[in-house]
Amino acid sequence: MNIFYEEEGNFRIGSVLADNDTSLQVQAPHGRRSKVKAANVLFRFSEPLSGFMEGAQKSAAQMDLDFLWECCAQEEFSYDKLARDYFGHAPNPEELAAVLLRVHGAPMYFYRKGRGRYRPAPPEALRAALASVERKRQQAALQAQYLEQLERFELPAAFQARRTELLYKPDRSSVEVKALEEAASHLKLSTARLLQKCGAIASTRDYHFERFLFEHFPRGVGFAAVADVTPPLALPLSEAAAFSIDDSTTTEIDDAFSVTAASGGWRIGIHIAAPALGIETGSPLDQEAAVRLSTVYTPGDKITMLPEALIAIYSLAEGRVCPALSLYLEVGSDLALRGMRTELEQVHIAANLRHAELEAWFNEDGLAAGLPELEFARELKLLWEMATVLEAGRGRPEPLRATQADYNFYVEGERVRIVERRRGAPLDKLVSELMILVNSEWGRALAEAGIAGIYRVQTEGKVRMSTVPSGHQGLGVPQYIWASSPLRRYVDLVNQRQLIAWQRGEPAPYSGGSERLLSVMRDFELASDAYAEFQRTMERYWCLRWLLQEGVGATAGEVIRDNLVKIDRIPLVARVATLPLLDAGVKVELNISDIDLLELTFHAEYRGPAPA
């Protein structure tokens, strides 16, 4: 006697060696012996085991599932009843096994309800399941087609429309991404590298730039029509003739300075652009600025916080009379500070001075030798002297000395110039000290008036933003706000609104501890971190482009620590695995190779000490 039984979801056959009430000893066709529960036996038969299962499987494969589904009752049924209905006669053991194998192997058509018992799938569920199977079949065929094209480095037409998603936010359940990842795995490439080889990345610069836009400017960088910008109200005209000091690429000119002779001394003006006059709180333009929160800087490009039409009205551009919030310092001939006052006014901007022209003569040597007779030379010298007094008053005096370098990037088409600027140069100190003063003084004014503001606070070495005025240890001032760059930072724009309200004696737009101020702080810090990381990424990109552009295969560098070396002439740090143990500051020679503008990597190899 033989049995057909179920074991762990599989159907098996075997000859009975011993038959007990609840279990049987069974020997399989290949000789293995096992114990089978009597409840697992579906039927018994006397036909030989040899060829039985093969024959049943062959018959099952020939059965039309749709016809079999139509033959069965629409309620729960037993496999043997279905076999009788299907064959039209009492089925033999092989036919029973064939029906059972076919029904059990088609869970879309038949739902298992117990051992040997099934229920047909409802018509709607069956149609949906079959449609799903067809979709998967078509997707598999499409994936195979895409795979073949990608491995030939051909970009499938469907990929072009989804290029951005494939590069920056791939949906791993999509057929396109599955094919892309499979092809990349076969070719031992990253998906980005494969897409580049297929022509989906025409420019490595655009690849990095578009990633940032995808993540932070998904609606694009354009502005809606500027309909809510109102011209400045009639303001008194200052007697001062002001000038700004900026890099040649600066278009959002926030600050300017003036020096006017006064009784027994000087009147020094610090003039800050006043876009808060033209941007109504809560207006569409204000809401857009609150989303952007800052101008985004990257070599050769920027994404402004405010639209160009508004910047053109409020930027302190040469030859124009511009609205400004001004802080005036009354100083004696000995540069002793006698008093300060704030004015909301219009200021004539006499000139926009640029670093490149000024630094040729406004430097330590020029200051020591006496500045040449050039326009604003006398005013600049006086401002420099005032800056040194202010710095000493903060308890942070520093002698004139070489300090860490800054770098300016000038991108012209496909070429880049990287120009080193020494941080802490006289021009930088002049501007920074006057900005520290105006931000500290206006922070004090808001605090004393009981008007809310957003402060920069530093305690125990940690800098944070707060609505509570507190000291900034690094700057050595009792309070410090950002209010000097309202064209470029939303925090400054918010603080300027508070300052204008204070100046006019009007209710402030933002109350202390308001949720609006707190959300501006939180959002600004997150955006600032993201924008700074993007700027670092693009500066690294252009440093690598410069190495390729200049054909730099070997260069000097300076050890920072461990195996980190700062490469000469550009702000790029290399990790040099072959670097011997050297002290910080030691000059070395490096070989540069394997520059990858997509992955932003390169290889640096130690050559030896730099020539003396």
pLDDT tens digits, 363-401:
777 777 777 777 888 899 999 999 999 999 888 655 544
What are the pLDDT digits (tens) for 348-362? 999 999 888 888 788
Domain with 565 in it: what CATH number?
2.40.50.140
Domain boundary among 124, 154, 176: 124
Q: Residues 309, 442: one domain? A: yes
CATH of the domain at 118: 2.30.30.360
Tell whether 356 is covered by a domain. yes
Instruction: Provide the pLDDT for residue 396.
Output: 64
One domain for residues 347 and 462: yes
Residue 104 inside a domain? The answer is yes
- pLDDT at residue 401 in the model: 45
Pair 54, 78 in one domain: yes
In a domain, 413, yes or no: no
Helix (H, G, I), strand (E, B) or coil at 421: strand
Flag whether 161 is in a domain: yes
Shared-domain flag, residues 302 and 345:
yes
- pLDDT (0 to 100) of residue 397: 57
Same domain, 278 and 387: yes
Q: What was the pLDDT predicted at 427? A: 87
Residue 223 in domain: no
Please count the structural domains in the chain: 4
Question: Does residue 449 share a domain with residue 369?
Answer: yes
In terms of domains, do 172 and 268 share one?
Answer: no
Instruction: Report if residue 476 sits inside a domain.
Output: yes
The reported pLDDT for the residue numbered 362 is 81
Q: Verify that 129 and 75 share a domain, yes or no.
A: no
Distance CA 474, CA 458 (A): 7
The closest of 113, 44, 42 to 73, measured between CA atoms, is: 113
Q: Does residue 214 form part of some domain? A: no
Q: How many angstroms separate the CA atoms of 471 and 518, rounded?
A: 19
Domain with 246, as residue range(s), is 237-398+425-530
What is the distance of C-alpha 140 from the center of its chain? 34
User: Which neighbouring-strand residues pair with 458?
Assistant: 463, 472
Residues 155 and 50 in one domain: no
**Pairing status of strand 110-114 against strand 117-120:** antiparallel
Whether residue 112 sits in one domain with residue 59: yes
| Amino acid residing at 60 | A
Rounded Cα–Cα distance for residues 430 and 268 (Å): 13
Q: Is residue 218 part of a domain?
A: no
- Please tell me whether residues 118 and 132 are part of one structural domain: no
Give the domain-ending residue among 176, 202, 228.
202
Q: Which of 56, 119, 63 is nearest to 92 (CA)?
A: 56
Residues of the chain with pLDDT under 50: 400-403
Question: Same domain, yes or no, for 313 and 377?
Answer: yes
Residue 50 Cα distances to 5, 13, 205, 394, 536, angstroms: 16, 10, 70, 100, 74
Q: What was the pLDDT predicted at 398?
A: 55
How confident is the model at residue 478, as a pLDDT? Answer: 93
